[in-house]
Chains A and B, each alone.
Chain A
């Protein structure tokens, strides 16, 4: 029996019950940051919407520069250690195709770079990515550390098992039109 825990836009959710599956539906340009501490048996997911906060009173989970620290903090409260946490990044697509230039909607690529930078700065362990491209994605993370991805018109597939010390899995960043 699984129990879906929805991670809405700008939300950060933590799970430590065996049947819990953290789920972010329909990621477009947003990034689903999936995290597992296999020792503490804690999973976490952040649904990042934009790269950088403007400061002030705001929802921390919305931005890469505030959402990543919030995710770490929430996981550490439940016994996780950042050095043990293994991450997978999913999302950051550019869905819209244009006639002419439109820089307002190219936020996917900027989100990917911002989240990668936040994780790299803290020397955190990113073991898998399925980012970029043109298609929206739904991502699931269960307590075994399995990250599954669904794209419209394709079969759902397993991106990585965060609990296993396998090779790093990077689906190539598809060319953004």
Chain B
């Protein structure tokens, strides 16, 4: 069993990772939509499985989620989740419809979300890569529209085999009146933490 203990300075550095990653992604989104997007202070923590599945809103609420696996110098996982209603608003904005037009994500809507999710997760990953100077490659994105807990548990199953706790960096974004509510979730694999923190100038061995 692996248990992680982090010092405050390391948590601060990871908060900064979340800031820069999500900041870049958010800028891409704001440019794409020509709308203002706000970002909250990233939450960094080492959490258990059941806390992980409730990171992005109510367990049974429906969300759209994009997942990418990051390979290279610092393997990890990036996910972007949006509540269903916010995903519909996003499709409205992308397709130039008045707000409230799209009420269901059909194939076209899902493909639009997939494209945007891909751009967002890639900008997040590029920002990380530039910030740390580490080589990172991401897998093609995968999309799921379902209960939030189902999406997050399916993601967790990709890396939870030996870990009991998960280091997560969560950055929430939002636009006008909740229309762009979304959550960036970055999970560096335990072996990547040293590389990331060292690249940021922190001497450490975790």
Chain A positions within 8 Å of B, measured between CB atoms, are 8-11, 25-30, 49-50, 54, 56-59, 62, 93-100, 102, 104-105, 107-108, 135-138, 150, 152-153
Which of A104, A108, A152 makes the CB contact (< 8 A) with B146? A152
7 pairs across A/B with beta carbons < 8 Å?
A: A8-B50, A26-B59, A26-B147, A26-B149, A54-B161, A96-B144, A105-B67
Residues in B whose Cβ lies below 8 Å from that of A150? 60
Tell me which residues across on chain B come within 8 A of A50, comparing CB atoms. Answer: 157, 160-161
Tell me, rounded to whole Å, the shortest Cβ–Cβ distance linking B47 to chain A: 12
**Would A28 and B49 be within 8 Å (CB), given that A104-B158, A107-B157 are in contact?**
no
Q: Is B199 an interface residue (CB 8 A)?
A: no
A9-B50, A102-B139 are known; give 15 further A-B pairs, CB within 8 A. A10-B49, A25-B60, A26-B146, A26-B149, A27-B153, A28-B153, A28-B154, A30-B153, A93-B150, A96-B67, A96-B144, A98-B140, A98-B142, A107-B158, A150-B60
Q: Is B143 an interface residue (CB 8 A)?
A: yes
Q: How far is A155 from B57 in the complex, measured between Cα atoms in Å?
A: 22
Q: Are B144 and A97 in contact (CB under 8 A)?
A: yes
Say yes or no for B53: interface residue by CB 8 A criterion.
yes
Cβ of B1 within 8 Å of any chain A Cβ, yes or no, is yes
A150 CB to closest chain B CB (Å) equals 8
CB distance from A152 to the nearest CB of B (A): 5
Q: Does B162 sit within 8 A of A, measured CB to CB? A: yes
Dominant SS among interface residues on chain A: loop
Which chain B residues have a beta carbon within 8 Å of chain A's beta carbons?
1, 49-50, 53, 59-60, 62, 67, 69, 114, 139-144, 146-158, 160-162, 164
> Which of B59, B143, B144, B148 has most A Cβ within 10 Å?
B144
Contact of A136 among B49, B69, B146, B162 (CB under 8 A): B146
Cβ of B140 and Cβ of A136 under 8 Å apart?
Answer: no
Give the CA-CA distance A153 to B106 in the complex, in Å. 13
A107 to B154, CA, bound (A): 8
Structural contact, B151 and A30, CB atoms closer than 8 A: no
A26 touches B153 (CB 8 A): yes
B164 touching A58, Cβ below 8 Å: yes
CA–CA, A98 and B67, complex, Å: 10
Across-interface contacts of B139 in A (CB, < 8 A): 102, 104
Question: Is B146 a contact of A30 with CB atoms below 8 Å?
Answer: no
Q: Hey, which chain B residues are within 8 Å of A135, CB to CB?
A: 146, 150
Contact of B158 among A27, A99, A105, A136 (CB under 8 A): A105
**B142 lies within 8 A of A102 (CB):** yes
Chain A residues within an 8 Å CB radius of B149: 25-26, 28, 136
A87, B53: Cα distance in complex, Å: 26
| Contact of A136 with B143 in the complex, beta carbons under 8 Å | no
User: How far does the alpha carbon of A105 sit from the alpha carbon of B50 in the complex, in Å?
Assistant: 19
Measured in the bound complex, the distance between the Cα atoms of B49 and A9 in whole Å is: 7
CA distance A137 to B151 in the complex (A): 11
Shortest Cβ gap from A156 to chain B (Å): 11
